Structure 1
Amino acid sequence: MCANYEKQLVSEQSKAEAARDRANMLDQALKQATEELEGVRSVHDETVRAWQQARAAAHDHAAELAAAAARADHELQRRAADADRASQRALHHVTLLTVDRETLQKKLDSLERDNAMLMGQYIKMADEMQNEIIDLPDTVEELQEHTLRLREQLIFCQIGREKAHEAENELRSQLLDHATLFRQQEAELASLRTQLTNANEQLEQVATEREQMRELADKLRTSTDLTEQLLEDKKRLQAEMLELRTRVSALQQELDNSEKVQQDFVRLSQSLQVQLQRLREAECEVRWQHDDDVSECPECHASLPTNKKKVHCRHCGRIFCASCVSGTVPAGPRRVPARVCALCRTLLQPHAPPYFSTGPPDHA
């Protein structure tokens, strides 16, 4: 019997060592799973924060560019319309001035030709008159009449010359005014062309900004796709985190059960050592105890009655109280139930829970 107890003790100690090793492995696995979970959670939180900051910055920049492009487009359209209207007005004025200038030039040429012709006729007539033989009238009355006619002709010639000179001066003044106005219109036209060039440059700038907005829109779509992917990754990571938590909970439960089993094995080992020592000491004694030799239960130390027959364990022969020998095992060929103590029941029924265990360990 001592040899059986020693074998069972060694077996239980081996089981306790195996349970301790398994508990250590489960503890390491729990720590590793916890570290992985914290790492995944940290990476996920950092990625989400970076994405949110980038998305907010891109959204604000896109809104600013859109507002600036709208303002620039409106201003460009207004300036283009103003430049178009001013260009049309300037072109119309230049056309009118050109026509007026040509008309005045024609008039001036005509007056100069008329003046030249008159001057030529005057010189011709002067030469003719100078070469002509003067035939003066014979009478005073005829001479006076001829003098009056010559004076009238001279007056008419002076008046015509003055009118021609005034017309020439007026035409020259108008021509100068039109030339000045023409130069002003040309300057305005050059200014409008400069404004049109600036407007075209602004239009190119707006086109560049629109291209930038298009690129930002593409980036925003890419960011949206990345957001959806991050959300999917977040869901997947949450599912994995939930699974890891479940595994951690299961591992923690297994660790708790292993610790309980280890503690049970330790108590069993200690109890078996004590019982083995008692059995070794009892090898030289009679195993069946006499009623008068025992006054209290060796298990719970309850006082035993003296006026009743005391209860013996049918396996080890020791005396216990009724509650401590409540277990039964089949005995003999007829398999009659025999009352035994908790230790003997544990030894005789290996698959039964240990006598010091209150219940089976929980399983996840």
Structure 2
Amino acid sequence: MAKLSIKGLIESALSFGRTLDSDYPPLQQFFVVMEHCLKHGLKVRKSFLSYNKTIWGPLELVEKLYPEAEEIGASVRDLPGLKWKGRGGEVFRLSFKRSVCDEGFCSDAPSEFYEYHALMMEEEGAVIVGLLVGLNVIDANLCVKGEDLDSQVGVIDFSMYLKNEEEIGNKERNVQIAAILDQKNYVEELNRQLNSTVSSLHSRVDSLEKSNTKLIEELAIAKNNIIKLQEENHQLRSENELILMRTRQHLEVTKVDVETELQTYKHSRQGLDEMYNDARRQLRDESQLRQDVENELSVQVGMKHEIELAMKLLQQAEKAQMEAEDEDEKYAQECLSKSDSLQRQISQKEQQLSKLKIDDIKEANKALQGLVWLKDKEATHCKLCEKEFSLSKRKHHCRNCGEIFCNACSDNELPLPSSPKPVRVCDSCHAILIQRCSSNVPHGSHCIFMGHKLYICLSCCSAIGSNVNMNSYWIE
């Protein structure tokens, strides 16, 4: 039926013209037959509420293979009021309208959409695709609404495919008549083209005749101009010969005059050369004399500059010597004054040092006499912070006052007159000793206070009374 429908549609289009309307019965039956072919052997897709058997799945696969089919699918999706079951028919109608039926009717149908016995899986499907290629020459005016597609009747009318012999004969006659009419139209069109060609050739011949006449006139004018130019050329030649003859005569006369002037110039040039040589010799002698005078003058000027420079240097040397003598005298006086002041400072420092040594000895004796070494059993609390002693808070003696303190209150070390090395002292004794050292000890040029540390030079350490075998010591 698909073959009959396609052949009948092609024959009808050739008989009545190649443009068909949407209400043409063979065209409507063709769409119905194609939908039946596409649905033959189509697998049923199960949904949540019912079974669905639609050809939209294979058509979506065709969209991925052909760009034209993708545009048709997008156009069908944008149609308003079109239900799901009418989309397949609309896709095939748009394919027929755009003359791409052979692309939309894919013969390589996948097995995921069709059963193995389906028409699209057989060789007949390829035959139908080949017949669809012939439909690309037919134009169709299709204007179908979405409601019409959804209400299409899927019944094939077999009556239009059952024909008798008389209809077949009429059909052949109609075909012959159509061929004769086509030939007549071709002959008329050819005759019309020939007439237009003849008219264009006539107009071209007229234009060529006009241009030929114009060229003949221009040729006559050119010939007259050539004759005039030849006459002018002959006249110019004669004038040129006359001028050339006169020029030659004038050239001969001029040549004689030039030779005479040349002889005169040679005689005068010889006398001028002798005068020039004499003047050049005199100039050379005068230049040599001037050069000797300039050399002698430059020597005298150089000697004058050297004498002036020597005088300036001598004056500067005398001035520098006087300034150096003045500075030496000032420096000697300053050294004498500094030496006197240093001697006085040394004597003062020695007196202070002896006094401090005596005070330190007295202080040490006093400390030894008044020092009471407190026993461990007598102290239960720290004397400074008054915290109770325990296993974690141990007892420590201050080597200066003899009292017992905790580690936090006696974490200081200072050298004492009675001890050559730094010993533990409490915070109170540490503050008193530091204040005493900073106020009474004569610090030298190397004693430095930095933060809470006092860096004491060797002389100051000996003044304090500690036996230190190093260049400097620090008190914390």
Shorter-normalised TM-score: what interval? under 0.3
| TM-score, reference length from structure 2 | 0.20
Larger RCO, structures 1/2 (Cα 8 Å, 6+ apart) = 1
**Structure with the higher fraction of residues in helix conformation:** 1
